[in-house]
């Protein structure tokens, strides 16, 4: 599970990845829960129905990140139609 702030579009994988890349310190913002309930079909663990879960806090720290950096964008990206390049 990944938790993000309101300024991140949860339906845009690139936006969620951006939040992870810019707001996560792995030693502080990632939690692993061993021995959690999982699917009985989970093939990677010896005990059926037991697995590990992971949570990522990709929220901005209190006080925010305003003015620290800005998101980059590709100029003209919104005018590109990908179907123009494929037949």
What does the block give as tokens for 48?
Answer: 């059926």
- Listed in sequence order, the residues at least 6 apart from 37 whose beta carbon sits closer than 8 Å to its beta carbon are 49, 50, 51
State residue 50's pLDDT score: 84
Backbone torsions φ then ψ of 33, nearest 5 degrees: -115, 100
State residue 10's pLDDT score: 97
State residue 66's pLDDT score: 66
pLDDT (tens digit per residue) in 20-72 = 999 999 999 999 999 888 877 767 767 778 888 999 999 998 876 666 667 77
User: Beta-strand (E) ranges in the chain?
Assistant: 2-4, 30-37, 50-58
Give the right CATH number for 2-62 from 3.40.1670.10, 3.40.50.300, 3.30.70.360, 1.20.1560.10. 3.40.1670.10
Predicted structure pTM score = 0.69
**For the range 14-17, what are the long-range contacts, defined as Cβ-Cβ under 8 Å and sequence gap of 24 or more?**
16/58
């Amino acid at each position: 599970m990944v938790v993000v702030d309101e300024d991140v579009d949860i339906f845009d994988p690139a936006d969620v990845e951006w939040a992870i890349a810019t707001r996560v310190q792995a030693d502080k913002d990632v939690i692993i829960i061993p021995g959690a309930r999982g699917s009985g079909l989970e093939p990677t663990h010896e005990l059926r129905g037991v697995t590990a879960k992971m949570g990522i806090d990709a929220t901005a720290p209190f006080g925010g990140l305003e003015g620290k950096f800005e998101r980059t964008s590709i100029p003209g990206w919104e005018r590109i139609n990908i179907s123009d390049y494929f037949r």
